[in-house]
Amino acid sequence: MKCLLCQQFFLPSWSLSNVWTRQTVCLPCKISFVKRGECTDCGKPGHSLCWDCERWRKQGHSLQTAPLFLYDAHAKAFLKRYKFLGDTALINVFKEDLKKVKVKQDLIVPIPLSQERLSDRRFNQAEGIARLMRGRIKLCLARSDGPAQSGRSRQERLERVNPFTVISSIEGKTILLVDDVYTTGATLHQAALRLREAGAKEISAVTLFRSV
């Protein structure tokens, strides 16, 4: 079998836990991804509550976000191929991890791209992640265009005007937001704010990576 990441052939490891699982990545590549850190709100390593989350809590915008892995060099190489080079099959590397996420919420809501960026990229990386999870997906957010977050400074991210609008009814629903990377938390918190304003009952989030 050929590893999706390193493109080397490998022998799948057979055990009771993966008898029915089609392995897409070799063990050395898989273990190169580092699990989330200690922050209870966002998974950043170092403290039980990081500076970012302390600031969000003081502003009254607490949001429980569960990242799967840290955004280190291996994660950045993965995301470059998946998100920016359009190798959409790569998301299957995390298929089993995403299926194991316990989704108790009514709706899974991936963070949208603007129409302009979606036209350029041809797919929404957050929606690709969400579709590997077990739950009902609802595309209830729209996003106005603006500079790509990856090219903005930390301060610019935090000061950005809220680009989201709610385009369908979510009143009384519990929602799990999904995105690719948690950096400052601005994107997820702004999306959560709009959903709360539209009557969402409870909101939490999952991301594939958490920046370090």
The 10s digit of each residue's pLDDT in 98-148 is 999 999 999 999 999 999 999 999 999 999 999 999 999 999 999 997 666
The per-type count for the chain, helices as H runs and strands as E runs, is 8, 6
Q: Is residue 17's pLDDT more than 90?
A: no
> What's the whole-model pTM score?
0.88
Residue 176: phi, psi to the nearest 5?
Answer: -115, 110
Please give the single-letter amino acid code of residue 36: R
H or E stretch at 201: none
Q: Is residue 19's pLDDT more than 50?
A: no
Distance CA 173, CA 131 (A): 19
Domains of the chain: 1-32 (no CATH), 33-211 (3.40.50)
pLDDT of res. 109: 98
Spatial CA neighbour of 115 closest among 142, 140, 88, 148: 142
Distance CA 27, CA 50 (A): 31
- Assess contact for 195 and 168: CB atoms under 8 A: no
Residue 166: phi, psi to the nearest 5?
Answer: -95, 130
Spatial CA neighbour of 104 closest among 145, 136, 151, 143: 136
Q: What is the DSSP string of 87-138?
A: -GGGGGGGHHHHHTS---SSEEEEPPPPHHHHHHHSS-HHHHHHTTSSS-B-
Q: Give residue-wise pLDDT tens across range 142-193.
A: 999 766 655 666 677 667 799 999 999 999 999 999 999 999 999 999 999 9
The length of the chain is 212
Give the other-Cβ count within 10 Å of 173's Cβ: 20
